[in-house]
Amino acid sequence: MTHTTTAFQSFGIWLAGRRAELALTLRVTISAVATLAASHILHLRIPLWAVLTAVILTQLSVGRSLRATIDYFIGTVGAAVFAGAVGALHPGTGELALATGLAVAVAPATLLAAINPRFSAAPFTAVLVFLAPTITQASPIESALERLFEVAVGGSIGLMVSLLVLPARAHDLAIAAAAHMLQLMARLQPGLFGKFTQTLDQGPLLHLQDSIGKALLRLETTFVEARQERMARLSSEPDQGPLVRTMLRLRHDLVIVWRAALEPLPEPFNVQLGPCLTSVGAAMADHLDACARALLARRGPPSKEAVMAAIDRYGAEMAKLREGGFTRALPAHAVEHVFAIGFALDQIRHHLADLDRCVSELAAPGRRNARV
């Protein structure tokens, strides 16, 4: 019984962490079944294409579904008209003539899709429209019109299901993606700033750096989908553009710190500045994690007093070393190394202030003054 209970608990935890995926599964299933039913009611010759369209266009978020539907319609309409015209004007019926006509229909559509990814559905549609008459005995023009009707049915049902069945807003997914990136950054801070004073295993830190880069790409993709929702008047939430730009700048700041930490600080800078940098790393970790929780809870930003105080302490110690003339005794590359750290911390100071503004703007109206 203990093993059974543990298994059920583990399965429940797994399900709780896969809500978005389970909701997408439900939406895709409903889209497929509803489109099949609509195809039979409308007497579509080949329901397969309408069902495939609905499945393809039912995406993880409303914004992604809307964008996929628009792109799919654009690619389909142009390719269907062109391939239908090629089929209607095609003189031969033999295998060689059929292959030649197929090449004429597919080649321009493929070139267009290669130039602009929005037309990625064009080659697929060109093949269907041109070859469908060999299966259904319909004329090329009828094949093109039926393909357009199939896409209209499948795309409309897919989009309606995305809007009505457990809709996932790209705005919320973008906020979650930003919070996840902040949490990854928070986990990196102790090791990143700890590299100045101790030798650490690079493997976990490199893995975190790669994960942060992937998280940024996911955030940028989701932001485009959220913007699509706002353009279609499906969302009135604030623009996440400033947040995306701030996250990119913070990512660049951490890369600068990473490069500066590749070699140890010269003496006596290591003794004086090492503990300050360790404190900066700890304060940064706490602040970034608190910002992530504030974003998810739609609350105002946490206080950044601790991290700013840690950066100020570093600046004060660095000023003492400069006043003592220690920088004059360093070779040029060591001076650049030391001042690169100060530059990165100054940038972090500014960008954390930008992050606070973004968290405040994205907070719920009644919770902007709430603190984590």
Euclidean distance between CA atoms 145 and 129, whole angstroms? 9
pLDDT at 357 over 80: yes
Please report the pLDDT score of residue 225 as a whole number.
Answer: 80
Domains annotated on the chain, with CATH: 2-164 (no CATH), 170-367 (1.20.58)
Please report the pLDDT score of residue 353 as a whole number.
Answer: 94
Euclidean distance between CA atoms 30 and 161, whole angstroms? 7
pLDDT at 42 over 70: yes
Please report the pLDDT score of residue 293 as a whole number.
Answer: 95
Residue from 125, 158, 148 nearest 54 by CA: 158
Q: What value does the mean pLDDT take over residues 44-72?
A: 84
Altogether, the residues listed in the chain come to a count of: 372
Q: Which residues contact 138 (CB under 8 A, 6 or more apart)?
A: 45, 132, 146
Please report the pLDDT score of residue 232 as a whole number.
Answer: 63
pLDDT at 3 over 70: no
Task: With beta carbons less than 8 A apart as the criterion, state whether 176 and 57 touch.
Answer: no
Please report the pLDDT score of residue 251 as a whole number.
Answer: 94
Task: With beta carbons less than 8 A apart as the criterion, state whether 266 and 334 touch.
Answer: yes
Q: Which residue has the higher pLDDT, 61 or 16?
A: 61
Q: Which residue has the higher pLDDT, 137 or 350?
A: 350
pLDDT at 35 over 90: yes
Task: With beta carbons less than 8 A apart as the criterion, state whether 345 and 273 touch.
Answer: no
Euclidean distance between CA atoms 130 and 98, whole angstroms? 9
Tens of pLDDT along 83-128? 888 888 876 667 787 888 888 889 988 998 889 888 888 888 888 8
Q: Which residue has the higher pLDDT, 180 or 328?
A: 180
Euclidean distance between CA atoms 90 and 104, whole angstroms? 10
Least confident stretch, 13-22, 99-108, 136-145, 202-211: 13-22
Please report the pLDDT score of residue 332 as a whole number.
Answer: 73
Euclidean distance between CA atoms 210 and 352, whole angstroms? 22
Euclidean distance between CA atoms 291 and 346, whole angstroms? 19
Q: Which residue has the higher pLDDT, 250 or 47?
A: 250
Euclidean distance between CA atoms 293 and 120, whole angstroms? 38
The two three-digit tokens of residue 3, written as one number: 């093993």
Of the pLDDT bands very low, low, confident and very high (cuts 50, 70, 90), residue 358 is very high
In the block, which residue shows the tokens 């090329």? 140
Residue from 241, 261, 239 nearest 249 by CA: 241
Q: What value does the mean pLDDT take over residues 250-261?
A: 90
Give CA separation, 127 vs 89, 93, 111, 124, 304, in Å. 16, 16, 14, 5, 59
**Cα-based torsion angle of the residue sequence 132, 136, 139, 145 in order, rounded to the nearest 10 degrees:** -70
